[in-house]
Amino acid sequence: MSNAIEVIAGRLPRVTAEDLRRFADAVEIRDAKAFAAELQAFVRERVAAVKLPANMEAETVEKILARKTAALRADTRGAPNETDVQRGRAVLLETFNQPQNLAPPEFAKLAHKSRQQIYKDIRARRLLALNVGPRGQKLPDWQLDPVKQQLTQTVLQDVGGIDNWTIYRALSEPLEGLGRRSPVDAVMPGMIDDVAKAVFNVLGVQVH
């Protein structure tokens, strides 16, 4: 048996009682422990009978895997170049400056609240606010609608650690499960929890 085959045979996972369940419909197993041992020996014998090409005989499995892994490993860690960063920032700025995103004073006026209350709601994660560097904050105007604001708040309260731009996209981009409507367009009274679950799925968040 070659070195490579010895390594493979020696590292074969042990046959367990769980593995034997796949044979339940085909054979009657009277002694599960003995059957597992015989199956283990049979698989090992089959592996031992494998003939490797001559150029592989001198290499162990570890060396083969190490060589292939090294070939796939980049010399330097990938990072966005300056053009990618500038393009990404331009997209954020374009979205940030869209008319439906309101500065806090304008949002406060339309919501019939004080500016202080709006800032307090932002800090308490009751309102979603976007920002791009030193340009201040803006709030999507859908939050002026009570139902859409409640959906936004429900999501914000359960996704700590996820940045607001990611949350914004999850709430505002179309989803197949919502008939290609965005969550904020699809939500209606009595549907907040169901639509929120769709948003959590997009964000990869499990909420119990």
CA dihedral 92, 94, 99, 102 (to 10 degrees): 30
More confident residue, 78 or 164: 164
What is the average pLDDT across 142-147? 96
Identify which of 123, 158, 131, 128 has the alpha carbon closest to the alpha carbon of residue 141.
128
Judge contact between 179 and 135, C-beta under 8 A. no
What's the confidence (pLDDT) of residue 25?
63
Q: Are 179 and 198 in contact (CB under 8 A)?
A: no
pLDDT tens-digit map of 31-43: 767 777 777 777 7
* pLDDT at 170 > cutoff 60: yes
Pairwise CA distance, residues 202 & 183, whole Å:
11
Chain segment 53-78, per-residue pLDDT in tens: 555 544 454 554 455 445 544 455 55
Judged by DSSP in three states, 99 sits in: coil
**pLDDT higher than 60, residue 52:** no
Give the Cα separation of 131 and 124 in Å (integer).
16
Tell me what pLDDT residue 72 has. 45
Tell me the average pLDDT across 104-118.
96
Looking at the predicted structure, is the pLDDT value of residue 176 above 60? yes
Q: What is the mean pLDDT of the chain?
A: 78
Distance CA 208, CA 171 (A): 20
Q: How far apart are CA 44 and CA 1, in angstroms?
A: 11
Q: Is the pLDDT of residue 174 over 60?
A: yes
Between 5 and 98, whose confidence is greater? 98
Average pLDDT over residues 78-94: 68
Q: With a threshold of 0.85, does the pTM exceed it?
A: no
Q: Phi, psi at residue 189, to the nearest 5°?
A: -55, 135
CA–CA separation, 167 vs 182, rounded Å?
A: 12
Please tell me the distance from the alpha carbon of residue 15 to that of residue 18, in angstroms, as a whole number.
8
48 or 103: which leads in pLDDT: 103
- 57 compared with 184, residue with greater pLDDT: 184
